[in-house]
Structure 1
């Protein structure tokens, strides 16, 4: 029971963090802050995954939660790479525009 409560709390925290990050990312008001928020969300998810790997989980819903958390972590990683690539491309275009 104690493990279920812990995982539910971690799951809700991660869900809130990730949804907040995504909404701010879509807002596109400050790209640097968005990348930093994604990096923080990724770090927190990685910590939750490592912690959950230490638990001896046998409950099916918790195993599904762990699997979903790993998938969301990978999606965050992919999104973070895309954001960094877009930021780099934007900077390159900005430099080219200033030079011309």
Structure 2
């Protein structure tokens, strides 16, 4: 890893097709950013916060242990072959 340390403040900049390898990038902030087609592999996203994020068509292989998901549209969400919206609607019928 390079010895350079500092912050980068990019505004209204196109960095499409950039690559980041073996980069320490803690506490990044993205606002109004188009990350369509972005690939994240072997990443530590502990404490990640996602707000108002569109993941339509995303494919995710992930450890969701101890994750809380609230106020989300799960229409068509499939986890391990199970339609979660259907599962929850059946669960809600049983609870009532």
Q: TM-score range by the shorter chain?
A: under 0.3
Taking structure 1 as the reference length, what is the TM-score of the superposition? 0.26
Q: Determine which structure has the larger helix proportion and give its number.
A: 1
The structure with the largest strand share of the pair is 2
User: Normalised by the size of structure 2, how large is the TM-score?
Assistant: 0.27
**RCO greater where, 1 or 2, for CA within 8 Å and sep 6 or more?**
1
